[in-house]
Structure 1
Amino acid sequence: MNSSLQTRAIAEGGLMAVMTTLIALAGLYIPFMQFFIFFIWTIPSVIVIVRHGLTVGLISIAAASILIFMLAGPLSAIMAAIQIGSLALVYGYAFRNGWKAASTLLAGAIIMVGATLLLYYTVFLITGINNLNIFSQLNEVLEPTIEMYKNLGIIDPAKGITEGAVREIIQKYFQLLTYLFPAFFAMAGIASAYLNLFAAQKILHRFGIDVPILPQFRHWNLPWWVVWGLITGLGLNLAGKYWGNYIIEMLGSNIMLLYMPMLFILGLSVIMFYYHKYLSGQVIYRIMIPFLIFFMLPYSTMLLSILGLLDLFFNYRRLSGEN
């Protein structure tokens, strides 16, 4: 790299470090901005990596972390370095090397889950606070919840609703959330990776940077062998119950739960494919389909998940002549 290009790379890296710092600070101190900041916090670092490589990107991320440390404290700087930095490095490297969009998303999801776990562990080492101990955190709100129910008149022994019965129901609900927490945690990582990827694709195109784009939603599909993960989850769940092994049973349940939104989305993709193929010109179906899906959600969730599962085997869109 000649001196002029090197100077330009360093200057742009510094500018993007300042932008990353401003975005992170806005997310920390402006509550209503946090949701939107979540989509774009990696963009400046991704742009630097795509244009100038990993070395300049690492320097930019380090500079941003130092600035955040000075302005917002060590915990915020650690969050920026671990979460923002790791995802930006993966996406920047993937875009720069022409990875497919699906591979980029998979790598981003894995990194996001791993980075979040690392962040929680680092915070635990520094503060002694275990943010992953979800059961103890839920139990802290048990008594205030019981008290609120009393004040609202929900707990009424005369109606057969006793405090003990309500307490037992809430505790069972908390236990279920704790039991399935790993799957919810992984879903959050996948959603975060997708939202950041979607925002990066849109914004980088505006900067004239060519990045791979996910196919249209109605063309989303998965290879048939993905179903083996669901079968494995079911097998582990049944084996855990048979042997009385809580860990194996919980692992199987979390794998199956992780598949549910994936199959639901796949089933919805099949519906949208046939809608665009046969019904897109008819206004009545534009109203009817969302109504049926969202206002009959318990039934539509199950039916679309089953449709998504069957699509793994039969690939309906290919049977319809779609390549």
Structure 2
Amino acid sequence: MFGLLFKNRISSSKILSAGMAFAGVAALSYMALSYLAGNNLFVMGEEMRSAFEQAMAAYRDAGMLNNVPAELQESFSDGIISTYELLFPGQYIISAAALAAVTYFLARACLSRMNYFLAPGLSFTMISLPWYSIWGPIAGLGLTLAGDNFSWLLVAKVGKNILYMLFWLYIVLGLSVAAYFFRRINVAWPLKLIFLVFVFAYPPFSMAGLVLLGLTDSLVNFRRLAPPA
């Protein structure tokens, strides 16, 4: 598909978006067929579960769980495995889309070395989402709440996976907005360096801020960019 789009000289943003969307739909279709065939998408196979348990045991032996009380370490490990099982469909779709993005950049690099005509590259600081993308988190939150309130387990799991995927999408968008203003704002480099140290020193706070920034930008358009096609 990338070859056809490159041949027709489609814009870089459309090629990347189409490739990632196609990969996501393909992954979703595969999981839908697997579910119809009777497979439980929210339960790991015995081999994968065994590998996870061995990994958690290795972390425990290495002292990485010392901050967790001994009586809670087993339940903590089980909780991590359960969370991974719950969010596996979302992780699968994200992995497929990310692989498509990597494929796009590798293909573009190869074509560039061959002096093939390419549309202007996509600037990371220009990434944006249309305002109606807000219906994504609304749908995810609505499904999660409805599933939890009415004990619709599958609906709740679907909603949580939607929110999980959008979490990473809005982190990327938040990084794009932050990078844009980081470059545009005329502040002394020592202050920018202090800001970066703060960002890397408090990952949970930074990630929450990026998600909020990305979510808000899709509505407010801080950078005053033209609406994405």
Mark the CA change 1:168 to 1:188 in structure 2 (over 3 Å): closer, same or farther. Answer: same
| 1:95 paired residue number | 6
Deviation at 1:224, TM superposition (A): 0.7
Mark the CA change 1:209 to 1:136 in structure 2 (over 3 Å): closer, same or farther. Answer: same
| 1:225 paired residue number | 132
Structure 2 letter corresponding to 1:169: F
Higher relative contact order (CA 8 A, sep 6+): 2
1:283 to 154, 168, 189: 189
| 2:107 paired residue number | 200
Deviation at 1:242, TM superposition (A): 1.2
| Contact kept? 1:201, 1:213, Cα under 8 Å | no
| Contact kept? 1:135, 1:174, Cα under 8 Å | no
Point out the structure with the larger helix share. 1
Say if 2:207 is the partner of 1:301. Answer: yes
Q: How many residues were matched structurally?
A: 218
| Contact kept? 2:23, 2:100, Cα under 8 Å | yes
1:266-309 CA distance string (max 9 Å, x none): 122112212222237x3224523432222211101001110111
Say if 2:94 is the partner of 1:183. Answer: no
| Contact kept? 2:42, 2:86, Cα under 8 Å | no
1:268 to 175, 183, 190: 175
Structure 1 letter corresponding to 2:183: H
Deviation at 1:201, TM superposition (A): 1.7
Deviation at 1:207, TM superposition (A): 1.1
Which structure 1 residue ranges, 5 or more long, are not aligned? 1-89, 123-129
Aligned-pair identity (%): 24
Deviation at 1:172, TM superposition (A): 2.1
Mark the CA change 1:242 to 1:109 in structure 2 (over 3 Å): closer, same or farther. Answer: same
| Contact kept? 2:42, 2:87, Cα under 8 Å | no
Normalized against structure 1, the TM-score is what? 0.58
| 1:109 paired residue number | 20
Bigger-Rg structure (1/2): 1
1:173 to 45, 69, 80: 80
Whole-angstrom CA distance in 1 between matches of 2:204 and 2:150 = 32
| C-alpha RMSD over aligned residues | 3.4
Whole-angstrom CA distance in 2 between matches of 1:259 and 1:146 = 27
Normalized against structure 2, the TM-score is what? 0.80
Whole-angstrom CA distance in 1 between matches of 2:99 and 2:11 = 18
| Contact kept? 1:101, 1:213, Cα under 8 Å | yes
Query: SS of the counterpart of 1:317?
Result: coil
| Contact kept? 1:146, 1:167, Cα under 8 Å | no
